[in-house]
Structure 1
Amino acid sequence: MQLLQFQAKWATLSLWLSLLLLLGGQPTPTEAVIEDVLDIIHIVKEVTTGVLKAWDVVQSSPLAANIEFPLMREKQRKVLQRLKEVSRQIDETEAQHSQYVALAIESVNNFISRNVPLMAKMNEISDTMNRISSRYQQMQNYETHKDKLEMSTLITFAEWTVSPNAYSVHHLMERLHLTLLGNGNDEKINSSSSNLLSQLAASYEVSADEMCHTKQSAQQFVYSLYTDIALTELKGYTMMEFSWMMLRVYGRGNFSQEAELMRRDYEKRTERTLKLLKEVMRRSDRIVWRCDPEHFVLNKTYDEVTRLLQGYIENEVDLNADETCRETCSFYQSTRSEGCFKEYFCARQPKCTGRLYNCQFVDSDMWVCPAARNSTRRYEYIEYENGRVLGRRQRCVRGTTKVDSWWRYLFWHCSYCFCLCDEQGLKSDRFFNLRESVADVKKNNVVTGLRFVKRNRVFHLQIQEGQLLPRGAINESTLSWKPVDEYKIYDRNVAKGIDYHTLSYESRSIDLDDIMKTDDYSFVVTGLRFRVLGAHLNLEARLTEFDFTKGELIQPEVNSVWQSNDNTDVSGERRQKINIYNADVPTRSVVTSIPMSKHNQYIEFVNSGMDKDAAQSTVPFLDIQDVVSQPPVPLAGIGLYYKGRPGYGGFLAPKIITYDFTPHVQVPKNIN
């Protein structure tokens, strides 16, 4: 009767235990065909059900100590055969999760190296888990050699496993639970200062390098850690159940009450830990972004908007149609190059055919080092007679050119001005795609990752897509980057403002937002697009309703919405501008970039600093690294952010917001 009651309770308990392992990934299609129980969502339920079924073998066993030996052997063989089936399921699940668990554990070891108390706790947990796993492997070896084992060997192992002492598996599981949660009531356990899981999650969130290494959001990181612990506890539970069975098979007693007490302890530990897990997950960040690479490589790890606003030297006489020198450089805040007076320096450099802005006087005479002819730069550096150097002074391959201002009619000084040139041309890549990019929803695909790419001088925000599976898993074999539209801006039927946006002095802002639904957890990202809102590039996400349990999009052609943040810098809820002033090229920074923006801000593409780079580059650069999570999961949202360091131009980059699994971790109200 007790066993039947436990089976009924366990049917409920197994369902919510399975949620503990939810983010660990999904078997490949080939594996899934072999046996449905390989699905991680059902593994705990399947294992515990398999263990309980094994009791059927021993229910009919006589309890007398003088049971015939051949019958004992037959019962032993059947029990160990059931053990083999259960062990296979646990091993396959552990192998499936090993990559992500290893990343999480490696990350922990990295960021707790200077936290002695935290490191001591992790060492204790690691030691306890290793002891349980070691005994579990020993039990598996017994199963492998079941036909050659002595009866006393199995009895000794079983008694050793369940005996009430400091070396038993039961004690090790209690120790593991105590180290993870600490002492105290549930309210104290849920506080970040009292339990190890909360402390590790908090430490992980402030360790940006580790997040970029694991490619896991803080919530995924917590799941990975708990997956390892949950599988270890499942091993311990399995060992104790089979130990009680084996002792009964060999007539050492009934042990029904002992097994029932063990199950109750297991239930209580699991319920307590689930409450903690749910609370830690609720507080954990779900954003994934990329850190700087070890080495910056143009067109591989980053790309640039080019010649949007670029430093340009022009004499005042050529800044007006009258060829006069009556004003100062600062008079010319928005003008054009009107000519080339007597073919002075203007004839020895490529002319700015666009508009010139913010002209200023630096010094009368200078030496100019021109850039290579195929470069998007105009100058490598400029050295003035007063000693001021714009850019980095270095060996000048093409040789410096002496440029001197002059007097005209003894009254007018025709000065060389330093202006900013906004010039469209073949060397100016300043276009952003406005066409939408949507996952193949007919194949039940959703967006799983983002990256910037440049095709034919047009920047695209490319999506990675993958097939959605039940309970928020992704079929990893279907992951692919959706090809972007490789049109050219001069193609027939391609229109400015419809297919692409052109950055200019008047329209060069981009909004930095986290785009997601904050009041509905039943939507995932299935597409994106840029639009022009005012003078800003603004990101929109296509969100589609889905069935979490079935893993199916619900009529995506009907139940999809375009989500955005419509605030502008002149709206009621004002956007905050991130200013970049006199910034150096970001790839020259010796320290890694960190996020420097938040939701509802914006940034303008501007010229790099005069002194640091002669204003020859456009910043921020674009980070073009893949932004994906491991394991891949559906996304609740996407976003753009700005990262960098003070004094440097930084990078514009995409980020992903992983689906929030917290609402699906449900603790049963009555488990007894």
Structure 2
Amino acid sequence: MRYKYFLIFLILLIIKSKIILSMSTISDVTIDIIKKITNTSQIQTTFKNISNETAQKNKKIVDHFDFVWKKLVEKHTNSHRINTPYSPAAYGKVDTDAISFISNVITSAEACGDLTKKFDKPDKSGDTYVELKKISNKISELGKNIHIFQRNLMDYLLSQELSNQKGLYNEYIWKIDNLYNDTLHWSEELENNITLFIGAEIERIISEMDHYPEHISYKMSELFFKNNNPYKKTLLDNYEEIFKRNIMTMCGMKLSPQHQIFSLYHKTVNNVVKNSAVMAFAYMWRTEFIGHNYTEEIQELENTLTQKINEYTELFKNKLQVMPNFIRRCDPIEQKKDVTYAEFENLVYVFVTNQKTFEPKNKETCENFCGDIVTSTPECEKKNNCKKYETICKGKITGCKNDASYEVCQSNDSSSRHYDWIKNKDNNVYYGNASTSCTSTKLIESTNILTWLPSWASKICRGCICQCVDDRLDTNNKTIRAFSYMWSNTSDDMVATGARLVAQDRMIHIQLREAKLLPLGNINVTSERWIPLPKFEYQNNFPSVAIYPDGTRHSLIADRDFGTIQMNFADKICLQQLILDEKYLLTGVRFNAMYFNNTNKDEKRCFNIDTNYAEFNYDTGKMMTRKSYDKQQTQPTELILDQPDNPLKFKKNVQDSMDNQYIKIGVTDLIKDASQTTFPFIDLQEVTTKPSAPLAGIELFHKGQLDKTSGGFVSLKIHPIDFSIFI
């Protein structure tokens, strides 16, 4: 009977405190531990990699750096208490500044050493500009590595401080769970009329002794509240700082930072209730077996519980409002074409040919230079001889330059590239990766035209580097040349729970995952599925009819159902975030065309995303009014890249774009990649949460390198439901 009273009392505590705990999905979610950005050995390895070459030139500076590093590690090793003046938060900035200073000295020494070497003993065989660019790139790479080292160090210190706090948090949770389980066990035994000898333990439970409810409650509050110390970094403060420091690189989490904190809120409040329940059991036991009336103490316990829950709720609500609330994927361990990424293969690339390519056969004059060649239509159409140009350029030829003789390393047949590298034989300058072993080379040499003039006065047909733009739809290959404008819409009473970009049928599509919405923002995972894309019938090598799963046929019309990529006209991708407001959830998405400043001019067109939303009731999970959302923004600005390289050369990519920018489809740098790759690539990885959550928004962004040296990827983010307004 007493056991039943205890359970009833516990229920009343929960009801009185007005707590809605979704125990089946939220309280059982394990809080994702922020992975250490690095560890001590990794930092030391990073330092050694950066400084190996420098050490040979300036050992004194490196020794000084090693000394600072040892002092830093010693200081960190001896510092454990988070509130001491020597905590990571306190000394991290000072050490970072010191490292920054020394790093600048090292960078300067390296730069001076390299530049002196280059100018004292110039390389006669190389082009000066190209050599200087290589030096500049080397210095930039060193600076980037040092910057990464500094960030990793600071992140490491912060993560250690947070790790210590979380260790204490989990210890307090474990202690209360043990006491709570003890009270449940005692209640069951009392219900079965088993005599218990727990008087001493009960006395400790209602005392202020260490490791018991009153003490644990106080220590727990110390982790979360500043307690009149404005300089104190609480557990939530450190969470927030780490998340915000890494907002551009943060990826691969199962829950968004906001949802992690929301889960932490439920776990914390659940612990507060258990703590009070343990004390309530102790008071009830003493009332029953000691004979003292603890009515006032129990009433005070209830009031204290309500106050604590209100305090924690207010604290967490404020933090939830500033926590990032998105999910994006990290880069895969191995990139696989058409699996993890897609590309606009051979849309724009560079090729090498002789001037005679542009002259009538047997009537070559080669009077002009390469830069004077201007073409506006495909050469095969001009010459009525497409077979001749099939292996040169099937599209438009533009931007010819650099009169010289060339040697090219032809890529293997399985590659989308034409060349691995190009060599200017006149000055021995390489474009692309000269270290690539080559099995097939080809010479494009300058040749004399035989005339009645002496040889010294005869015309020379030179080799030219030209750009090919092949944006044709009517071609017998499977290259991506358009964006689908067809909707991916959820069914009735369904919401979006995930999204992905799909390269299929020569178009880029956006596909949603849908599921049934339940009360309190929960999801019926058994109803979850990816919304099927239509199948297509082709005409002239491009989809002409869409066939939906229910058999509906839909004839496709350009600019209504799809938008073709046209270089210098429709060659921009808008990078934007679409979230309506907290009352609505995402139910549909598609690509569309946006015209800058409503000009409706092709040169001002940008591929963007449109969305559909539905109003919903959080308590019941019912879907209501649906509406489209066309976000009105100011004219987007261009994301300008700096001599972009092939995206596949970089193992790790970070967000380098902002909301309301656009990326222009283009070709990689000539020096770095021989201009053989069309960028950006398309990230095909699906983006979802675990456990599943309804989506409030979706975002298209660019990920590459912070110094803008990669062509990068266009990728998706999802923005889950905002729990800050429902707490």
Q: TM-score range by the shorter chain?
A: 0.7 to 0.9
Deviation at 1:299, TM superposition (A): 2.4
Partner of 2:487: 436
CA gap of 1:461–1:302, structure 2 versus 1, over 3 A, is same
Partner of 1:539: 609
CA gap of 1:105–1:298, structure 2 versus 1, over 3 A, is same
Quick one: which of 357, 364, 367 aligns to 1:326? 367
TM-score scaled to structure 2, two decimals? Answer: 0.71
- The letter for the 2-side match of 1:547 is N
Cα distance per residue 1:252-287 (max 9 Å; x no partner) = 322111111122222222111111111111111212
In 1, distance between residues paired with 2:502 and 2:635? 30
Matched, 1:371 2:441: no
Deviation at 1:332, TM superposition (A): 3.2
Quick one: which of 190, 195, 201 aligns to 1:151? 195
Matched, 1:317 2:366: no
Deviation at 1:606, TM superposition (A): 0.8
Deviates further, 269-278 or 490-499: 490-499
Partner of 2:636: 575
In 2, distance between residues paired with 1:325 and 1:378? 25
Cα distance per residue 1:139-162 (max 9 Å; x no partner) = 344456557886343433332222
- The letter for the 2-side match of 1:578 is L
Partner of 1:54: none
Cα distance per residue 1:177-226 (max 9 Å; x no partner) = 222213129xx6xxx96532132122123335995232322211211222
Matched, 1:101 2:104: no
- The letter for the 1-side match of 2:30 is V
In 1, distance between residues paired with 2:428 and 2:573? 37
Partner of 1:513: 576
Partner of 1:236: 275
In 1, distance between residues paired with 2:209 and 2:12? 28
Matched, 1:225 2:288: no
In 2, distance between residues paired with 1:279 and 1:630? 24
Map 1:278-357 onto structure 2 (within 5 A).
278-319=317-358, 324-332=365-373, 334-336=375-377, 338=379, 350-357=391-398
Quick one: which of 464, 474, 483 aligns to 1:417? 464
Matched, 1:496 2:536: no
Partner of 1:449: 498
Deviation at 1:105, TM superposition (A): 6.5
CA gap of 1:7–1:123, structure 2 versus 1, over 3 A, is closer
Deviation at 1:601, TM superposition (A): 0.5
Three-state SS of the structure 2 residue aligned to 1:564 is coil
Three-state SS of the structure 2 residue aligned to 1:335 is coil
Deviation at 1:427, TM superposition (A): 5.2
Partner of 1:610: 670
Q: Is the 8 A contact 2:406 2:463 kept in 1?
A: no
Deviates further, 116-125 or 606-615: 116-125
Deviation at 1:320, TM superposition (A): 5.9
Matched, 1:643 2:694: no
Three-state SS of the structure 1 residue aligned to 2:527 is strand
Deviation at 1:348, TM superposition (A): 9.5
In 1, distance between residues paired with 2:314 and 2:260? 17
Deviation at 1:638, TM superposition (A): 1.0
Deviation at 1:328, TM superposition (A): 2.1
Quick one: which of 689, 695, 702 aligns to 1:629? 689
In 2, distance between residues paired with 1:513 and 1:395? 38
CA gap of 1:144–1:11, structure 2 versus 1, over 3 A, is closer
In 2, distance between residues paired with 1:307 and 1:224? 47
Matched, 1:459 2:519: no
Partner of 1:564: 631
Deviation at 1:439, TM superposition (A): 0.7
Deviates further, 541-550 or 322-331: 322-331
Partner of 1:84: none
CA gap of 1:634–1:490, structure 2 versus 1, over 3 A, is closer
In 2, distance between residues paired with 1:428 and 1:173? 63
Cα distance per residue 1:376-423 (max 9 Å; x no partner) = 222222222121222223566652112212233545432222122112
Matched, 1:658 2:720: yes
Deviation at 1:176, TM superposition (A): 0.7
- The letter for the 2-side match of 1:14 is S
TM-score scaled to structure 1, two decimals? Answer: 0.77
In 2, distance between residues paired with 1:341 and 1:481? 47
Partner of 2:296: 257
- The letter for the 1-side match of 2:174 is N
Deviation at 1:553, TM superposition (A): 1.2
CA gap of 1:117–1:452, structure 2 versus 1, over 3 A, is closer
Three-state SS of the structure 1 residue aligned to 2:321 is helix
Quick one: which of 548, 554, 568 aligns to 2:624? 554
Give the superposed CA RMSD: 3.2
In 2, distance between residues paired with 1:237 and 1:339? 83
Partner of 2:168: 124
Matched, 1:114 2:157: yes
In 1, distance between residues paired with 2:440 and 2:35? 52
CA gap of 1:262–1:14, structure 2 versus 1, over 3 A, is closer
Partner of 1:74: none
In 1, distance between residues paired with 2:279 and 2:382? 95
In 2, distance between residues paired with 1:138 and 1:478? 39
In 1, distance between residues paired with 2:663 and 2:364? 37
Identity of aligned residues (%): 23
In 2, distance between residues paired with 1:341 and 1:642? 38
